[in-house]
Amino acid sequence: MVTDRGVTVDHTTLYRWVQAYAPQLDKRLRPHLRMTTGSWRVDETHVKVRS
The answer on pLDDT for 51 being more than 80 is no
* pLDDT tens digits along 23-35: 999 999 988 888 7
* Backbone conformation region of residue 43, classed left if phi is above 0, alpha if psi is from -120 to 50, else beta: beta
Residue 21 has a pLDDT of 94
How many residues are present in the chain? 51
> Is-contact 14 20, C-beta < 8 A?
no
Task: For 1-51, give the DSSP string.
Answer: -TGGGT----HHHHHHHHHHHHHHHHHHHGGGSPP--S-------------
Tally the C-alpha atoms within 13 A of residue 39's C-alpha that lie toward its C-beta.
Answer: 1
